[in-house]
Amino acid sequence: MATEREHFEIRTMLANARAAALEADAEKSLAEAAKFKAETRGALATAKRGEIDLAVKLRSEKVELAKDKEFRVFVYDQVVTSQSAEKCIQQLAEWSRVDPKCDIEIIFNSPGGEVVAGMALFDYIQRIRKQGHAVTTTSFGMAASMAGILLQAGDKRAMGPEAWLLIHEASFGTHGSFGDVVDTVEWVKRVQERILDIFAKRSADSDPKVATKKLTRTQIKRRWHRKDWWISSDEALKHGFIDEIA
């Protein structure tokens, strides 16, 4: 029969065992708590990175959607060449196909350039107007020479308060035989008559409440004869070469 001392030792051993088990459970719980805490921190960090990535993506999309292209605005700030005119035509064609009858604005700040290339763009603008697109042509800075003619292509024409319109006689380089030169001169004269028609017609068709001094072909021809005729936005409005000052 076990003695009292032996009972005490057994109870002590059992107590120590339970204490050791409890200590092991406590250590396990602490380890699991530390693991959970670490996982929580990791999840929070991942969520934060996700929020940042989403914010960056949304900001990038917002910037993209704010670009001129999304608002159907084409900025023509180059010399008028076959390449720059073709670039504009291609963009107008894309908008016309993707968004039929959408409003379009072309902003000019150009010193002018090639007449043939410019007239190709002029005709294309007339084409998309007939298809139902309302086209606004605006000038900030200057619409000089061929760019001034293109400014006349829109349904509504506007200039910034400090913008300038330049109108002058058509000019072309020529070379070759005497006959070649004569033929070119004759062709230039015919082109010039068409340009006069464009300016005179737009002046005549402008709102009489705005255009207080409309000009005929003869009056325009007299003003640009052998000189550069620089026209302020106020003068352009008065003569009916624009419909409003932007």
Taking only the tens place, the pLDDT of each residue in 45-75 is: 777 777 777 667 767 666 666 676 889 999 9
d(CA 118, CA 134): 20
Who wins on pLDDT, 132 or 170? 132
- Residue type (1 letter), 111: P
Closest residue by Cα to residue 163 from 187, 198, 139? 139
What's residue 24's pLDDT? 75
Q: List CB contacts of 43: < 8 A, sequence separation 6 or more.
A: none
**Average pLDDT of the segment spanning 82-102:** 97
C-alpha 125 chain-centroid distance: 18
Q: Is 145 a catalytic residue?
A: yes
C-alpha 68 chain-centroid distance: 2
Query: How many CB atoms are located within 10 Å of the residue 128 CB?
Result: 20
Burial (Cβ within 10 Å: 0-12, 13-18, ≥19) of residue 118:
buried
What's residue 63's pLDDT? 66
Q: How confident is the model at residue 10 (pLDDT cuts 50, 70, 90)?
A: low
pLDDT above 70 covers a percentage of the chain that reads 87
What's residue 172's pLDDT? 62
Q: List CB contacts of 74: < 8 A, sequence separation 6 or more.
A: 68, 88, 91, 92, 104, 105, 106, 107
Residue 156 has pLDDT above 70, yes or no: yes
Q: Which position among 84, 139, 145, 206 bears the catalytic label?
A: 145
Mean pLDDT (the chain, rounded)? 87
Q: How confident is the model at residue 100 (pLDDT cuts 50, 70, 90)?
A: very high
User: Domain spanning 69-245 has what CATH number?
Assistant: 3.90.226.10
pLDDT, tens only, 160-188: 999 999 998 876 655 556 665 677 778 88
Closest residue by Cα to residue 156 from 210, 206, 194, 88? 206
Who wins on pLDDT, 206 or 227? 206
* pTM score, whole prediction: 0.76
Q: Which position among 84, 96, 110, 168 bears the catalytic label?
A: 168
Residue 199 has pLDDT above 70, yes or no: yes
Q: Which value, in Å, is the radius of gyration of the alpha carbons in the chain? A: 39
What's residue 69's pLDDT? 81
pLDDT, tens only, 18-43: 777 777 777 777 777 778 787 778 77
Q: Is 168 a catalytic residue?
A: yes
Residue 78 has pLDDT above 70, yes or no: yes
